[in-house]
Structure 1
Amino acid sequence: MGNIKNRHIIDSNNLSEESYFISILQEAYACGLLYDSDIENIQLQCIDFLAYKSERYDGGESSSIRVEVAENIMKSNLYTIGLYLKSLPDADSAVSELKSTRIDEIYKKGRDLIDEKIRTVKHIYKLAKKNKVFTLNYTYNATLDDNGIGTFFRLYNPDYEAHETPASIDYQLCNPVINLEGIEFIQKYLENLLIENEFCRNFDTQDIHYLLYGYDEGYKDLLINIFEHVLTAGLGCLLANKSIKKLEISEDEIQFLDKELSKDTNYSLALKLQNATKKLIEKMNIINPLVEEYIERSLPKITSNIAYGIKTNALDKVFVIPINPDLKQKIKFLSGVKMEDEDYRKLINQLLISEYSLDRIAIIKEKVESFNDLEDILFDSELNDEEMALVFDMLEDIEIAALIKQNPFKSDIQAVDLSEAEYELRLNLEEYINHLPIGRKEQIFEMVSVIIDE
């Protein structure tokens, strides 16, 4: 009889992690654990406590504060109270606490708990930075930086904005943190990131770089999750009966997987990946139960990605072939010898006084021999949009690629430091490229990635 568990009246599944205090009151009232008089008493205590906190907010210098400020302080109070109630064994215990303890006392316990959590989270933050993945990805590095998550510890105001999360966090986790705010959100985010780091640190930094570069040469600027790509690659290697150590898979092996996995139903595919996951955990000698649980929690997302890749004939976008950028073939581009300054000035003057577009294009075609002179003319000769397009038509793909390399497309914000001529050239070049056939466009951008100026 001693082993029989107590039956809880409140179903914890009906409670909100984000608004725990309010949901406790609602569920307790619905279950008959709290009556109208109890709810009214708790509400009055919350209002009295808000008045006390509001007075302290401005140091007693004013008898009133803005409505939105008062609302935010109330949210902070309720968050802190809810944080303590969450720490109790169960929801029924939380209701007993509300019936037997004053709101200001419960708040004090929650506030002490926040201080304790801040100390814990600072320690987790140090660990996450210590075992970080060495990568070129900007959002990953920026998020772990002192100006990313680090700002939380400088800006967090647990007395009046305990529910806020004042930090720059752009890096996307494989398993996003949902329904949490304030210190709880930061703690859970860092705990998940710490786990992702621990898993990825089993692989060589260079191999992860090759994998992500194979996914996209510009991965450093993408909002990607490193853990998800590494885990997916590891599972792909196992399914192809390869070692997972280097995260390497070939085009033939991807085609083999496509053929084999396309035979599976959704259920059999999920089962196959579950077995591969168990094998991966065993081969990597993962003994941390938190890492193991996180991998298993990530599996539905990866399974869905693989199923979609099979369905759309794009499995090569899921299982990625690593690329070593240092071994990629390079193209040497010779710009040619520039004309003398005096000759260049005469040419620009001739273009500026020419009345007809076709005459101006003919002059450029006849007299411009070097790429550097051509680029300067595009800046200096005040060509209109149609004339720029005609000049681009004269160029070989390698020359257009060199122009893009020298004048990469940028957002309006990034282009703020460009001159008007530079901005116009990039705008026209981007417009021209966007109207090219897809195959030619892809070929030009491939040249951009491998071209070397000489």
Structure 2
Amino acid sequence: MDNFIINKEYAFKNLLSEEHYFQSLLQVLHSNDLLSIGEIEGIQLQLVDILTETVGYYTKNKSSSVRVEVAEQIMLSIYYTLGLFLKNQSTIKESITLIEEKGIRYLFARGEKILKAKVDECQGLLDIVKETRLEIENYAYIDTIDYGIPLFFKEYDIRFASHETPGSIDYPLSIDEMKLAGIEYMNDYLNKVILENKFCSYFDIAEIEALLKGFNKNFKHMLINIFQLVLTNYLGCILTGKGGRSLEITKGDRVYLKSIMENLSQAGLERLISEAAEKLCQELFIEDKNLIEYINRTVCNILPEVKIYIETDTLKNIFITLSKSEKDVLKYEDGKSLDDSSFRSITEEIRDCSKVEDKIEIITEEIHSLKDLVDVLSADCIFDNEFIDIFKALDDFEIALLVKNTSNDEVFNTDYGTESEKEWHGKLKVYLEGLDDMKKKEIISISQGIDI
């Protein structure tokens, strides 16, 4: 018999309900002749004793009877409490031994202890949720944390309704275990919100808000999962080869993403996204195994959507362009440009210089507009690595202006313009790639916040 149970362990567990664990366990054991009808009847009598005692608590011993609906709810609570204890056993065989040797009252008492411990644990988890919360104006997110979850603890009834999930949980998780109930559901929910908050904390909150605005300008009122949107966009950034922690996806990025994904088989697409998820964890130095598992499970859920958006040419709906508010955008007004005669004279003077230091001095003293700087870089008066030296002499904002000027929604695009323009575009890319990640990210961020 023991070998039979061991061999059937996996099959049995697949038949058990997470929400109605105790009832489904008895059904599986009886249908496989592991509990006789006599043993089932004995269990039912023990359950009636616990029900009678609990009803006494419910009526404060003023009555031994209650409405049928109330009795049914109390019995469901008893089942839930028993199931909570039996779920903690490592094997079905252990559960059978406990039922046969310890009795239902013993299991119920142990289940009550677990319930109380889990309630205390969840109240601690709520404190962590509040400590790690995102300062994002999404009303479902705010209301769930500030009102909905605290209401659960105010109304949760361990003795008479442990199977219920009171409160108001409106904010959707990326992966929501709806098959759970009661304190188990709350425990799972809180742990996942903490994981989601932890992941989002790796990114600038202003960028997250810009991402949500890019997704839908009415994001404050929508039931959306912030973590999944952030994860998806950052996956896109990883696939385009961007460093740092920017969430920005441009139109050009989506063209590139489509080009590398549209001809892949299902297996090839899964492999590409899976490798990007692994690189993502390395990029952010994520070592929390629970968070890594949660990211991978969410990525699996994202995959079918990616496939559909590729086929329908609507990647903009999943890889989102950030929407910066007017207050986040710097309106750049260019300086006064040189007249044609003065410009020709300066470029000839630059061309005649044998030292790059002299060329830099002329540029810094005579060029006072972005238009003239761009024209000088394209005027065949600067050569080879002189470009790098000149870029080094410019400040970060001037470099950001050049990046903005060359981007056209595709950062570091070097494939358009005249040959002279292509040359300095390429040298600018080389210069940026030689910077450390933090400096490069800062310059790109500045460029994305400029409106030329």
- Structure 2: gaps of 5 or more residues: 330-452
Residue 113 of structure 1 corresponds to 114
Runs (4+) of structure 1 exceeding 4 A deviation are none
Q: How far, CA to CA, are the matches of 1:66 and 1:53 in structure 2? A: 14
Residue 157 of structure 1 corresponds to 157
Residue 186 of structure 2 corresponds to 186
Q: How far, CA to CA, are the matches of 1:64 and 1:282 in structure 2? A: 62
Aligned-pair distance for 1:243?
2.4
Aligned-pair distance for 1:100?
1.0
Residue 68 of structure 1 corresponds to 69
Q: Classify the secondary structure of the residue corresponding to 2:163.
A: coil
Q: How far, CA to CA, are the matches of 1:97 and 1:200 in structure 2? A: 44
Residue 94 of structure 2 corresponds to 93
Residue 7 of structure 1 corresponds to 6
Q: Classify the secondary structure of the residue corresponding to 2:157.
A: coil
Residue 289 of structure 2 corresponds to 289
Aligned-pair distance for 1:48?
2.2
Q: Classify the secondary structure of the residue corresponding to 2:44.
A: helix
**CA deviation string 1:358-398 (max 9, x = no partner):** xxxxxxxxxxxxxxxxxxxxxxxxxxxxxxxxxxxxxxxxx
Conserved in 2, the CA contact under 8 Å of 1:80 and 1:110?
Answer: yes
- TM-score for the superposition, normalised by structure 2: 0.70
Q: How far, CA to CA, are the matches of 1:212 and 1:251 in structure 2? A: 17
Q: How far, CA to CA, are the matches of 1:276 and 1:169 in structure 2? A: 32
Aligned-pair distance for 1:128?
1.0
Residue 217 of structure 1 corresponds to 217
Conserved in 2, the CA contact under 8 Å of 1:9 and 1:31?
Answer: no
Aligned-pair distance for 1:105?
1.8
**Letter of the 1:144 counterpart:** I
Conserved in 2, the CA contact under 8 Å of 1:207 and 1:247?
Answer: yes
Q: Tell me if 1:23 matches 2:16.
A: no
Query: Considering only aligned residues, what root-mean-square deviation do their CA atoms show, in Å?
Result: 1.8
**Letter of the 1:246 counterpart:** S
Aligned-pair distance for 1:244?
5.0
Aligned-pair distance for 1:15?
1.2
Aligned residues: 325
Residue 55 of structure 1 corresponds to 56
Aligned-pair distance for 1:132?
0.9
Conserved in 2, the CA contact under 8 Å of 1:9 and 1:92?
Answer: no
Conserved in 2, the CA contact under 8 Å of 1:131 and 1:197?
Answer: yes
Conserved in 2, the CA contact under 8 Å of 1:156 and 1:166?
Answer: yes
Residue 312 of structure 1 corresponds to 312
Q: Tell me if 1:248 matches 2:271.
A: no
Q: How far, CA to CA, are the matches of 1:244 and 1:274 in structure 2? A: 19
Q: How far, CA to CA, are the matches of 1:133 and 1:212 in structure 2? A: 13
Q: Which has the larger displacement, 45-54 or 222-231? A: 45-54
Aligned-pair distance for 1:30?
2.4
**CA deviation string 1:233-258 (max 9, x = no partner):** 01000111112512011111112212
Q: Classify the secondary structure of the residue corresponding to 1:7.
A: helix
Identity percentage of aligned residues: 34
- TM-score for the superposition, normalised by structure 1: 0.69
Aligned-pair distance for 1:64?
2.1
Distance 1:9-1:304 versus aligned 2 partners, 3 A rule: closer
Residue 176 of structure 1 corresponds to 176
Residue 380 of structure 2 corresponds to none
Q: How far, CA to CA, are the matches of 2:268 and 2:289 in structure 1? A: 26
Q: How far, CA to CA, are the matches of 2:216 and 2:142 in structure 1? A: 18
**Letter of the 1:238 counterpart:** I
- Structure 1: gaps of 5 or more residues: 330-454
Q: How far, CA to CA, are the matches of 1:283 and 1:170 in structure 2? A: 32
Q: How far, CA to CA, are the matches of 2:27 and 2:272 in structure 1? A: 44
Mapping of 1:272-283 within 5 angstroms?
272-283=272-283
Q: How far, CA to CA, are the matches of 1:206 and 1:116 in structure 2? A: 38
**Letter of the 1:165 counterpart:** T
**Letter of the 1:84 counterpart:** F
Q: How far, CA to CA, are the matches of 2:90 and 2:59 in structure 1? A: 37
Q: How far, CA to CA, are the matches of 1:247 and 1:99 in structure 2? A: 57
Aligned-pair distance for 1:327?
5.1
